[in-house]
Amino acid sequence: MNTSFKDQIEQFKNQNQNRGRLLVSCPDQPGIVSAISQFLFSHNANILESSQYSTNPEGGIFFIRIEFECPGLKEKAASMEQQFIEIAEKFSMDWRLTPVYKVKKAAIFVSKELHCLQELLWEWQSGDLMTEIALVISNHEVARDVVEGLKIPFHYIPANKDIRQQVEEKQLQLLEEYDVDLIVLARYMQILTPNFVAANPNKIINIHHSFLPAFIGARPYERAYGRGVKLIGATSHYVTNDLDEGPIIEQDIARVDHRANVDTLKKIGRSIERSVLARAIKWHVEDRIIVHQNKTIVF
């Protein structure tokens, strides 16, 4: 890893060693916020930020994200998780308690087009994307110099549909070796198998170069041009076994007109893709996303 970024990581960990995040989803009912607040108060924790949402106050699903400061969190985190189980069971919660100092490790998958990768590297170098880029995996060599120039491990693994199983076995081994928390498909132009997706539920984020659900699948800019669209966009989403139909995290658009050819659409689209993917990754590593069915709640 880049030495200067190692210093940024250590500084971030030191500054946030007592900060935690709690994400909860459960059937809505009275007493949830009170129970969580009392629990945090009992551990001398101070709530810094709290956001909540209910699909329906009567019989709906309740979601909440809390960021808090708790003295001695590094020593108390495991005990707090154990003690929270009683509250979670009472309210039938899906939940996770994450110490902020545990910086997530990301693997970036990329093919020939590097604009999304380069955007993430820039955000990472500037300290605006607080994750550890553990490695980059590609089915082409074009990204090697960019990646290795930043002292990030680069792994070239040729891939096609005929050797997909062997390729994914190598990839899964690397993900385990580097203890990866998040997989980013930064214009990685290969379809993942159900086994690979099942091994990483809600841990794979893709950028699709259209405003979904429009133009699912391949060659969306060419198809958008063929339809004479007046808006083009990009979508970042979690990967499921249904192609380009996983829970949407972020989207954006730009207006175009009849003068735009396919190359113009691609040029405009790449700018949208970069920013949309970067925002989605930031929200994920900041524990701002709760997946519910095939949707996301983004706090």
Catalytic residues: 244
DSSP label of 13 = H
Q: Which residues contact 62 (CB under 8 A, 6 or more apart)?
A: 24, 25, 26, 27, 28, 29, 32, 52, 53, 54, 55
| DSSP 3-state of 78 | helix
Phi/psi of residue 230, nearest 5 degrees:
-110, -5
Percent helix, strand and coil across the chain, each rounded to 5? 35, 25, 35
For the chain, the farthest-separated pair of C-alpha atoms sits apart, in whole angstroms, at 63
| DSSP 3-state of 17 | coil
Amino acid, single-letter form, for residue 159: A
**For the purposes of burial, counting CB atoms within 10 Å of the CB of 64, is it exposed (0-12), middle (13-18) or buried (19 or more)?**
buried
Q: What is the Cα–Cα distance from 51 to 170, expressed in whole angstroms? A: 40
